[in-house]
């Protein structure tokens, strides 16, 4: 299948059609209590499929929740996080410096 045919099929469900379920989303979903975990996994699965996304479009709040969950997964990408001003190494360094200054570690 060529990239053009993939682009042609993308419409409903295209929010994250090319992104795999990364470790971040999986960890997020796994941390939820079991009833919510089932529902969240269902939302993600529906949003990733064109027919499922079309179904979710009939329930705007569910569609928004699915979009938000998939958007969270993008923040695990260092280039995206860096563009938004998040630098994990800098945050860790600031935390360690604060702990040292307060003599906690």
- In this prediction, residue 105 has a pLDDT band, given cuts at 50, 70 and 90, of low
> pLDDT of 48-91, one tens digit each?
999 999 999 999 999 999 999 988 888 878 888 888 888 888 88
> pLDDT of 40-59, one tens digit each?
999 999 999 999 999 999 99
Residue length, the chain?
A: 105
- In this prediction, residue 19 has a pLDDT band, given cuts at 50, 70 and 90, of very low
Helix/strand/coil percentages in the chain, nearest 5:
70, 0, 30
Please provide residue 39's backbone torsions phi and psi, each rounded to the nearest 5 degrees: -65, -40
Structure tokens at 96: 């360690």
Q: Which neighbouring-strand residues pair with 11?
A: 13
């Amino acid at each position: 299948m060529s990239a053009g045919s993939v682009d042609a099929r993308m419409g409903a469900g295209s929010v994250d059609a090319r992104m795999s379920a990364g470790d971040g989303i999986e960890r997020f979903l796994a941390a939820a209590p079991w009833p919510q975990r089932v529902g969240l996994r269902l939302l993600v699965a529906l949003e990733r499929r064109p027919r499922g996304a079309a179904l979710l479009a009939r329930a705007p709040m569910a569609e928004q929740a699915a979009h938000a969950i998939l958007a969270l997964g993008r923040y695990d990408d260092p280039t995206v996080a860096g563009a938004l001003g998040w630098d994990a190494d800098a945050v860790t360094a600031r935390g360690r410096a604060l702990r040292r200054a307060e003599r906690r570690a």
